[in-house]
Structure 1
Amino acid sequence: MIIPEEKIKIEEWYTSEIPRSEFKTFLKRDNWHAFVYFGLWLALLVAVGALACWLFPSWWSLPVFLIYGVIYTGNNPRWHECSHGTPFKTGWLNEFFYWFCGSMELRDMVDFRYSHSRHHSFTIQKEVDPEIPAQRPPNLWAFFLDFFYLWNGPLAMTNLVLHSLGIVSKKAGAYVPEEDYQRMFWSARAALLPHLIAIGLAIGLESWLPVLLFGLPRFYGGFLIWTFIVLQHAGLEENVWDHRLNCRSFKLNPFTSFLLMNMEKHIEHHMYPLVPFHALPALNQRIQAQLPKPYHGLLGALGELIVVLFKQRNDFGATIRRILPEMD
């Protein structure tokens, strides 16, 4: 297991200037915001999935399945938020949707909770953060494959199978304490179960539909969510203790913001990870004068990132440097 204190000098993170009494108002949790965001997402998923099934196997089903896949990947910010325990005020609802939405992406609860806790504690600190999306030099092959989850997807599947068999993966061994191995093994089995059911139904019904609706959509519909995931941090500064320099925030259209559960306010989320998703827009309004200007949309930032990733093949120091308000 990697001990961060043995690898890096730990410093305090920069935080925005906001009175503690005022900040507490952003921490309030409820159930109804999450019911809206989860309920509408599931309803949309069921409606589009039903249309895709009705059209299957005609060619007309292809664009509908593509739309279904993009909606399906809204699971990612939902299990991510549930791992923080912030969407629902009711704890068991967070845990249920953390399991269900995580399973949709071949993730188990124990592994990711430890991984993501370290990611937040040591964001983009080399040798310590297990969730750096693009190492230096970057693996461009992996970067492009993951637009359809074809790099991290097989790795996640391999780790999930290993853990379900009681074998600790090399990745998890770096951050999961030994005393939680058994919990991780059972968590992996629980995450694998819905996939085994889908595969069993596909075989029993002699139809591709069960796996086209559960599991495979993360692959064929993964291009939007991967664009967002990789843009959260890739190409920005490493080994700094200021989230304004190693995270990106965006202005997005309402539907994409809904699908991503406001996680485009990513600097704000990293600076204050206990603030529920529904309070992030208000938090952004309060502290935006202390933040770099947000990107408008994903495509411009993606183009900027691809350029710097190609530069980093030969120049490891090539970096996108954000302009802070105090630097203007």
Structure 2
Amino acid sequence: MPAELDHTALIKSLPPETKASLTARSDAAGLRHLALYLAALAVCTAGLALQVPFWPLLMLPQGVLLVFLFTLSHECTHQTPFRSKWLNETAGHFCALAMALPFVWFRYYHLAHHKFTNDPDRDPELEHGGRPETLTQWLTYLSGWSYWKGMARTIWRNAFGTISAPYLPKRRLAGMRLEARVLLAIYAAALLSLLMSPLVLWLWIVPLLIGQPFLRAYLLAEHGLCPPVADMLENSRTTITNRIVRFAAWNMPYHAEHHSFPNVPFHQLPAFHAITEAHLKSTSNGYGEFTADYMRQLAR
């Protein structure tokens, strides 16, 4: 194999049996990972609900687990976490509810991001001005303010306004409108429940706010400081990190691998990483290293 390949050449170089093995989806693998994830979330939820000693400290892991459901939702847009379509759809809609990310809409938004990765004119992730360029912008980004404001606008527009974007198929607009209205109804009921109990506040709302900066920092590393080129092994970053982060993020720190071959499910990404490792062009040895590099870029 040549010393360095772009993602297209790399995928073409793989034998058919290797491709078949890498793209094999599994309900068992997906359900096992989901069960462990939900078990960790249930432990935190129970501790908060029962107000065990030092219970407010549990809002941090609770929040991180809630916001990192984004990575499962992201995988579900590709129909890869599970072999069964209904499991992917159910999990995607569950994540939508947990973190105000309408799943039907997000599927097409995210697929457009894959098609136009890091293209400043066509990548929907960059349609509102791109990534932070000053320290103030970076701190605002980490706060999650832009995310919450953007999702509130998206859900309200999808529910009652005009749904329009070049990447949204007209045949799915009715589904997006229904989804947004259902989400708004559930959120309204959750807010009304606060009149009787603060439980929703401590189990869900405050943890989401606390956890969001961790997700923002993680997401910035996926394509931040990567050039606007076509090669997915260069316009996307793989971050070498520990098992806990990989678990919470459904192996998406292997992000250049994911963009190079989106049909590879999360549980096969480590194996694909072994194949791509020599060809990766944008990598960081941990999120601390990436953040330090990003801060130096801001300082310039």
C-alpha separation between the residues in 1 aligned to 2:74 and 2:215?
13
- The letter for the 1-side match of 2:265 is P
The corresponding residue for 2:286 is 297
Q: Check whether the contact 1:198–1:211 (CA below 8 A) recurs between aligned residues.
A: no
Q: Percent identity?
A: 26
Quick check: 2:66–2:99 contact (8 Å CA) kept in 1?
no
Report whether the alignment pairs 1:47 with 2:49: no
Name 1:202's counterpart in structure 2. 194
1:274 aligns with 2:268: no
Note the alpha carbon deviations across 1:135-185, whole angstroms, 9 max, x for none: 2773654432232312211211121122122x135xx52421334322211
Larger relative helix fraction: 2
- Counterparts of 1:136 and 1:199, CA distance in 2: 32
**Residue 117 of structure 1 pairs with residue 132 of structure 2:** no
- SS of residue matched to 1:232: helix
| Within-5 A mapping of 1:40-189 | 40-55=36-51, 60-132=54-126, 135=130, 138=133, 140-165=135-160, 167-168=161-162, 172-189=164-181
User: Following TM superposition, by how much is the alpha carbon of 1:310 offset from its aligned partner in structure 2, in angstroms?
Assistant: 4.2
Mapped contact 1:15–1:271 kept (Cα < 8 A): no
Q: Which moved more, 1:272-281 or 1:185-194?
A: 185-194
1:289-308 Cα offsets, whole Å, 9 max, x none, are 22237422101111101222
Range that drifts further, 276-285 or 99-108: 99-108
Equivalent position amino acid for 1:237 in 2: P
- Helix, strand or coil: the match of 1:221? helix
Q: How many residues align?
A: 292
Letter in 2 for 1:186: L
Q: Give secondary structure in 2 for the equivalent of 1:262.
A: coil
Distance 1:136 1:80, change over 3 A: closer
RMSD, aligned CA = 2.2
Q: Is the 8 A contact 1:147 1:222 kept in 2?
A: yes
TM-score (norm 2): 0.89
TM-score w.r.t. length of structure 1: 0.82
Q: SS of the residue aligned with 2:150?
A: helix
Aligned partners of 2:159 and 2:178 also within 8 Å: yes
Structure-2 separation of matches of 1:137 and 1:108: 24
**1:104-136, CA deviations, whole angstroms, 9 ceiling, x for partnerless residues?**
221112221111111101101121110139727
Distance 2:277 2:42 in 1: 37
- AA in 2 matched with 1:222: Q
Distance 1:188 1:65, change over 3 A: same
Structure 2 spans left out of the alignment, 5+ residues:
1-5
1:161 and 1:212 map into 2 onto residues whose CA distance is 25
- The residue number in structure 2 matching 1:225 is 215
Return the offset for 1:244.
Answer: 1.9
Q: Which residue of 1 aligns with 2:204?
A: 214
- Aligned equivalents of 1:19, 1:100: Cα separation in 2: 37
Matches within 5 A, 1:308-327: 308-311=297-300
